[in-house]
Chain A
């Protein structure tokens, strides 16, 4: 007879979140249950307050998303004429000048990815709170995607940085960063933190592990 597959939590074991050292959980241990003897990371059976933190960060990101898109991110002064650009007006400019691949890159990185990320995180948090049993493997995959794509949203911030550095020729041509850039940077950082605070193991906690694996754990 093969032993049933089990999780670390149901076996009173703790796995270090960073170095994955597996150890016995001290009985009656509080959260955090001390530090990892190997790498020194704080030990938690699950990431602390994962749901609440993720909610808070997602809501904060949603709030910042509005000024990030409404306020201009750059101000271009060229021969006395001044023009302010938001993220969307930058995209539209590229479409009008026929450079739609670049328009697509900016649109995906700056508009689509943050929204997609926030929607996925909302969906994951809500599904965990409702103890959903729906396709946990695919939801875990969604989580991994969210974790991986977030960084690419920084593209627009870097574009602003480079433009500001290069186009600095006094009255002839000058580009300045504007308030929208600050909010947008905040959205990117907050969504990254939100993805980090979500614990994908919560997706699996409602399941009994026995039935899925071919071989014993």
Chain B
């Protein structure tokens, strides 16, 4: 294979699980096989989907000021931005915190479940390519930092109550990160050899 960062050709023998093959010229990681990659990623993706539903249906943050309580969903801020004529920003936030993670989870399940049952899904290589290209646009962990900053910012002004969804959201970040890091892309790509 050719290194994706410097184009140097390598012949990679079977890499043992838990070790890493990297490019000898630029140090890019070429292969990193994982144990039970498909099973673990699939389990985490299903867990992630459940958390995703919870994170988007329960109240996310509550805000209490002088006896008034305002509860918001994850989507409330996006709707407010949209109503304030910040359409582009609203769409961007919607994509990066809701749509991209959802698409990632669905794509992972679509690919991994049939793979586990040894019946590759139609078009799974195309779906996997799309999955790789939306990864940079899924920014839930950045959103988490945003939550922390906002909570500190408002702490003086009012009382902030994290809702059920906020905890689900945090768990979802961890689960999705674990899911993607336990997924070894070679497991998917190598299926191609048998299915031409």
Name A's B-contacting residues (CB within 8 A).
Answer: 5-9, 11, 13, 15, 17-22, 38-41, 94, 97, 99, 102, 105-106, 109, 136-137, 140-141, 143-144, 147, 150-152, 154-169, 172-173, 176-177, 181-182, 185-186, 189, 192, 196, 200-201, 203-205, 209, 212-215, 217
What residues of A have a CB within 8 angstroms of the CB of B125 in the complex? 19, 38-40
> Do the beta carbons of B145 and A152 come within 8 Å of each other?
yes
What residues of B have a CB within 8 angstroms of the CB of A189 in the complex? 92
> Do the beta carbons of A21 and B189 come within 8 Å of each other?
yes
What residues of A have a CB within 8 angstroms of the CB of B152 in the complex? 99, 102
> Do the beta carbons of B8 and A217 come within 8 Å of each other?
yes
> Do the beta carbons of A19 and B153 come within 8 Å of each other?
no
User: Given A19-B125, A39-B126, A164-B81, are A201 and B96 neighbors across the interface (CB < 8 Å)?
Assistant: no
What residues of B have a CB within 8 angstroms of the CB of A8 in the complex? 2, 7-9
List 9 tightest A-B contacts by C-beta distance, closest first.
A158-B146, A165-B77, A8-B2, A15-B2, A161-B77, A39-B129, A204-B6, A213-B24, A165-B76
**Complex Cα gap A173–B70 (Å):** 12
**Complex Cα gap A183–B16 (Å):** 48
Q: Which residue of B lies closest to A5 (CB)?
A: B8
What residues of A have a CB within 8 angstroms of the CB of B142 in the complex? 151-152, 154-155, 158
User: Given A102-B153, A182-B89, are A17 and B136 neighbors across the interface (CB < 8 Å)?
Assistant: no
Q: Which residue of B lies closest to A141 (CB)?
A: B27
Minimum Cβ distance to chain A for residue B115 (Å) = 15
Q: Which residue of A lies closest to B150 (CB)?
A: A162
Q: Which residue of A lies closest to B94 (CB)?
A: A161
**Complex Cα gap A11–B1 (Å):** 12
Q: How many residues of B contact A (CB 8 A)?
A: 60
Say if the beta carbon of B99 comes within 8 Å of chain A. Answer: no
Minimum Cβ distance to chain A for residue B107 (Å) = 13
User: Given A159-B146, A177-B89, are A13 and B81 neighbors across the interface (CB < 8 Å)?
Assistant: no
**Complex Cα gap A134–B24 (Å):** 18
> Do the beta carbons of B8 and A213 come within 8 Å of each other?
yes
**Complex Cα gap A159–B153 (Å):** 9
**Complex Cα gap A5–B3 (Å):** 12
> Do the beta carbons of B8 and A15 come within 8 Å of each other?
no
What residues of A have a CB within 8 angstroms of the CB of B76 in the complex? 165
**Complex Cα gap A115–B97 (Å):** 24
Name the one of B8, B25, B61, B84 contacting A164, with C-beta atoms under 8 angstroms: B84
- A150, A182, A205: residue with the most chain B Cβ atoms closer than 10 Å: A182
